[in-house]
Structure 1
Amino acid sequence: MTDAEIGDLADAFVACTLPKERWTHGAHFATALWLILRRPDIVPERDMPGLIRRYNESVGGVNSDMSGYHETITQASLRMARHVLAAQPEGVMPSAAFAALMASPLGDKDWLFAYWSRERLMSAQARRAWVEPDLEPLPA
């Protein structure tokens, strides 16, 4: 994905104009990286919950204990995106950071299950608030 494509994707997400079928695993990470690197007005850890909830509703989704926004997945993904960025050279372009992230174990949509049991991660509690991993701690 090019820098322009990542920027367009992130802008469409924020504007709630991104088609639902384009909000994929990769799109989540591409958007997170773009916001971290190119949108100093947005603090992802603080602002992504509201942005995701608003986006979900804009495409007809529901944010509940069973679907929609998931706090633990969002915050874990942001931590891991920052972890990948910390290993990149200063001034890294979003496309290069995205390529590095997707080439890592994070490129697998099931990466979270190396850290959380399915039962714990898919719980209503983990959807509502941060829940620590029960299998392996996230990298510092």
Structure 2
Amino acid sequence: MRLFDDETTIEQLVERFNSCTLPAEAWTHEAHLAMGIWYLRQYTLTQAMLLVRQRIILFNHSVGGPIGFERGYHETLTWFWLKTIEGFLNEFGRQQPLLDTCNTFLKSELADRNRALFFYKNDEVFSLEARTYLIQPTLQVLV
């Protein structure tokens, strides 16, 4: 997992994501998670979900990325990661420095890119249904 060197890098990442000027290759797993942390430090979970959904779809469109039902934005995984980050922030605190928050989260098992498979069966989470609207975990409850 690649960690961030400074808060400016994170702030610029979010700014470039929001303005659709981030290069597609910079839209990594770590970038997704840092963006989620940034949003959840500013907004409630519901507000963050609405904004992130909109911005991911706009970003994907701006870089010529996938925007159809088979690829691109994924409703269930977006909710899963925001919900995971929300739980982390509730314990870690929202007032810690952004750099510490991002890097502590990224170093934790919570950031494992395969974490959703502890909560969902593979065929469920990668289904068209899960991509288009939120499905709740079936293997264990996400608190």
**TM-score, normalized by length of structure 2?**
0.90
Relative contact order, CA 8 A, sep 6+: which one is greater? 2
- What is the CA distance between 1:90 and its match in structure 2? 4.9
- Between the aligned partners of 1:10 and 1:90, the Cα distance in structure 2 is 17
Out of 41, 44, 47, the residue aligned to residue 43 of structure 1 is 47
- Between the aligned partners of 1:89 and 1:82, the Cα distance in structure 2 is 10
For 1:47, what is the secondary structure of its paired residue? helix
Q: For structure 1, which segment, 120-129 or 28-37, has the greater mean C-alpha deviation from structure 2 after superposition?
A: 28-37
After TM superposition, which residue ranges in structure 1, 4 or more long, deviate above 4 angstroms?
A: none
**Cα RMSD between the aligned structures?**
1.7
Report the equivalent of 1:95: 99
Give ranges in structure 2 of 5+ residues lacking alignment.
none
- What is the CA distance between 1:46 and its match in structure 2? 1.3
Q: For structure 1, which segment, 47-56 or 89-98, has the greater mean C-alpha deviation from structure 2 after superposition?
A: 89-98
- Assess if the C-alpha contact under 8 Å between 1:70 and 1:127 holds in 2: yes
- What is the CA distance between 1:102 and its match in structure 2? 1.1
Q: Percent identity?
A: 28
- Assess if the C-alpha contact under 8 Å between 1:84 and 1:100 holds in 2: no
Report the equivalent of 1:27: 31
User: Aligned residues, how many?
Assistant: 138
**TM-score, normalized by length of structure 1?**
0.91
- Between the aligned partners of 1:61 and 1:118, the Cα distance in structure 2 is 23
- What is the CA distance between 1:39 and its match in structure 2? 6.7
